[in-house]
Structure 1
C-alpha cells in the first residue's frame, strides 16, 4: 500500500525538476485560481451550484456536498500536489473533477471559445493530472522521502 500511495516514479534529476515545475504550477494555479475563490465565495457558489457527478454512487450526493467535494479537490488535492505527497491519488482526484467539469458541466459548450464558457480550460487542467498519475511526483517531493524503494529503474 505504501508503494502504491507514495511511489515517486522517476528519480532522474532533470525529469524530476520538470515534474516539480509541473506539480507546483498546476497545484498553485488550481489552489489560488479555483479552490480559494470557491471557498471565499461559498455562499454565492452554493446559490447557483447545480453540479452533481452523473456517476453512481456520487450521483446520490446533494448539491452542497458536491460543491464541498469540488472545493476539497481543488484545495486539498492541489495542496498535496504542491508538496509532492500522495501525488498520484491527488492527481486522480483533480483529474476526476476536471472530467466532470469538462464532460458534464460544460457538455453543451463548445470545445474552444473566444471568451465564453468552453471545455478547453478543464481539459487543459486534466492533462497535467494525467501526466502526474502516470509519472509520479519525481525525486524532489515528499513522496520520494517516504518511498525509499531502492529497486533499479530504467532511464
Structure 2
C-alpha cells in the first residue's frame, strides 16, 4: 500500500463523522431549536419537515456511529435531493443564490458514503471483520 493509502479509510471515517454531525445539527435545530431555531422553519413543523428532521437526527446519529452506513447514507442523500428540488431549486437556478449548496454537498457526500461505506472507525467496520479464530 502506498504511503498515503493507509490514511484513506481513516479520512473516510472522518468525513462520515463530520458530515453526520453537521447533518444532525439541522435536524436538532428543527426539532429542539438547538443550538438555535432553524431560520425560516415554521413552528410547529409541518409533517414533511418533521419527517426530514427525524431523518436528519436519527440518520445522522447512525452515521456518526457508523451503523448501517450504506442504507442510511442512501436515505439521507435522497432526503437532501428532495429538499433541494422542493425548497431551493424553485428560488433560483444557481445554488449559491438559492441557498441549496449545502443540500447538494450533503447529497453527494452521502451518495459517496452509500457506495464506499463508512471507513475505518464505525460499528459496521467492526462487524464486517472476521473473528480472530476464523479462517
Instruction: Note whether the superposition's TM-score is higher than 0.5.
Output: yes
- Which gives a bigger RCO, structure 1 or 2 (Cα 8 Å, sep 6+)? 1
**Greater helix proportion:** 2
**TM-score in terms of structure 2 length:** 0.77
Q: Structure 1: how far apart are the matches of 2:74 and 2:127?
A: 20
In the alignment, structure 1 residue 22 sits paired with structure 2 residue 15: yes
Unpaired runs of 5+ residues, structure 2, are none
Q: How many residues align?
A: 121
Summarize deviations over 1:1-40 as a string: whole Å, max 9, x none. xxxxxxxxxxx742211111101110111112x0110011
Aligned twin of 2:115: 134
Unpaired runs of 5+ residues, structure 1, are 1-11, 50-62, 151-155
4+ residue runs of structure 1 moved beyond 6 angstroms?
none
Q: Aligned runs of 1:108-119 on 2, under 5 Å? A: 108-110=90-92, 111-113=94-96, 117-119=98-100
Aligned twin of 1:40: 32
Task: Decide whether the 8 Å contact of 2:88 with 2:95 is kept in 1.
Answer: no
Distance 1:108 1:92, change over 3 A: same
Match among 103, 122, 126 for residue 122 of structure 1: 103
**TM-score in terms of structure 1 length:** 0.68
Q: CA RMSD in A?
A: 2.4
